[in-house]
Structure formats: C-alpha cells, structure tokens
Amino acid sequence: LVYKLNRFARNRYDSAKYKHKLKKYGVKVVSAMENIADDPSGILLESVIEGMAEYYSAELAENVMRGMTENALECKWPGGPVPLGYKLDAAHLIIDEPAAKTVRWIYQMALEGRQPASIIRELNAAGCRTSFGRPFGRTSLNTILHNERYVGTFLWNGIKKPNAIPA
C-alpha cells in the first residue's frame, strides 16, 4: 500500500521492475489516493500517472540544477560542509579567522617541508579539529592541501572561477 504511485518509484522502468518482482510473491501495489480500476482502463491510467511522476521528477531535477548553476556563477556556496577556515556570509564564503589560523599553520608546516604524519601529530597535539570536529588524519590533511578554494578558486560542477573567494 502506497500513498500515491509516485511514492513507489520515480520512473516507469523502476516501477515496472519492482512491481514484477513483487507480483512473483503474490504482492500487488495499491495506491491509497489514486483509485485505479483492475481492468484495461486501469493499465492506461496507471501508466499515465507513472509517466507524469517521471516527468515531474525530471523537470524538478532540471530546475534545481539550473538554479544551482546560476548560484555557482555568482560564486554562492552550493551547500554541504563549508571548508575549514571559512564560514558563510549569506551565501558567500568568507574567512573564519579562528579556524583560518589552523589552515595557515597547516600550509606553513607543509611549506617548511614537514612530513604529513608530523603535521597531523602536531595539529592533534594542539587540539585542532577538522571542519567536522574530528581529529586530523591523512585524508583531512590532504583535502586541505589540495583544495583549490584555499587559493581563492570557486569550484562547482565544472565551474571554476579564480579569485572568486577569499584566499
């Protein structure tokens, strides 16, 4: 029992595949809000409803992507975790001075030729934490050292704008 058929699947292929699997076990999918007859007209109505759900899902994805692309072209943060050393001012990245000190210290130690394990030990001994509040490890250190945002480049889904955020 589903509230509406669009809650069962977002495309016709998945709907048909899952209904077929369920049918093998004697299970029929029934919509609580859509009265679909158990005759040939019901087959047509169900396919129209599923087609409209797939269309809506595809159109929504297209609109969301367009909006996110427009935001990225204006260098607005697309969402997700903000890199260590930054915070959001409205939708734009700005430097978070207390956390930026850790990032600058990381780069200074790397420029001095310190090995990653040595940098990690020193950061953790000093009580520094990643943007997720965890102790530093090799992955978190490499993420910072290879993140182009720290040199001012805005990146999102193939959009790359140098000097677009504070370095």
Spans of the chain below 50 pLDDT: none
Q: What is the pTM of this model?
A: 0.71
Task: Retrieve residue 81's tokens.
Answer: 């975790």
Q: Give the pLDDT of residue 93.
A: 96
- Roughly how many angstroms between the first and final C-alpha of the chain, as a whole number? 54
Q: Give the pLDDT of residue 167.
A: 95
At 91-140, the pLDDT tens digits run 999 999 999 999 999 999 999 999 999 999 999 999 999 999 999 999 99
Per-residue b or e along 152-162, where b marks 16 or more CB atoms closer than 10 Å to that residue's CB: eebbbeeeeee
Q: Give the pLDDT of residue 31.
A: 92
Q: Give the pLDDT of residue 100.
A: 97
